[in-house]
Amino acid sequence: DRINYAEITISAVSPSQYPEDGLTEIVLAGRSNVGKSSFINTMVNRKKLARTSGQPGKTRTLNFFNIEKELFFVDVPGYGYAKVSNAEQEKWGRMMTEYFATREELALGILLVDFRHEPSDLDVQMYDLYKYYNIPVLVIGTKADKIKKSKYNKHEGIIKRTLRFEPEDKFFTFSSFSREGRDEIWEEILSYTRN
């Protein structure tokens, strides 16, 4: 898949700022440092559309990336960063539920989890939040280049069990280094934009 157009449209904190293009939206969530920015950059073949940084917890807004004028990737602040205050966390929760509860354009929720590790309580809560709002979920195991192929089934099993993954959802492994998973994930994402 060649991507010619990928630009940030707006960093929004409230519904009045959401784009009015009516394009399908794919939201991306995951704990801080899971590889979310790298995922976006790899998917759109850009080195730094989404900023990868050594400074976790920097994103505080909903970042709408217009991809090929066909869909938006909506990057949300990573969770689970220890230095974020309770007040900030509550603000995060309000911003997310406001978006999830009201947004008709939202078609798919991506949950990025580190393929190496058992999902955290916050990962489970994020999965449950998607389920609560009836958002179809794509769980993506990131940094898969760090795991031997012979261990894939074991890791996938642990992740699915811990999340209490439901059969209607989809699971993919991904690496921004090897680009493993990219084509399959694009195919899945695009199936939500066509009809």
Closest CB 154 distance from ligand GTP, rounded Å:
18
Q: Does 185 bind ligand GTP (CB under 6 A)?
A: no
Among 21, 88, 98, 145, binds ligand GTP (CB under 6 A): 145
Count Cα atoms within 13 angstroms, Cβ side, for 49: 25
CA quadruple 141, 117, 101, 93: dihedral positive or negative?
A: negative
Query: How many Å apart are CA 36 and CA 27, to the nearest integer?
Result: 11
Under rule CB under 6 A, residue 33 binds ligand GTP: yes
Looking at residues 61 to 80 of the shown chain, list those that interact with ligand GTP (rule: CB under 6 A): 78
Rank residues 50 and 137 by Cβ distance to ligand GTP and give the closer one.
50
Q: What angle do CA 80, 39, 161 make, to 5 degrees?
A: 55
Nearer to Mg ion, 28 or 147 (CB): 28
Residue 118 partner contact from Mg ion, ligand GTP, none using kind-dependent CB cut-offs of 5 to 8 Å: none
**By CB under 6 A, residue 37 contacts ligand GTP:** yes
Please give the C-alpha separations between residue 36 and each of 28, 56, 63, 151, in angstroms, as whole numbers: 8, 11, 12, 23
Name the nearest CA neighbour of 37 among 149, 108, 115, 142: 142
Closest approach of Mg ion to the CB of residue 65, in Å: 12
Chain contacts with ligand GTP (rule: CB under 6 A): 30, 32-38, 52-53, 56, 59, 78, 142-143, 145-146, 175-177
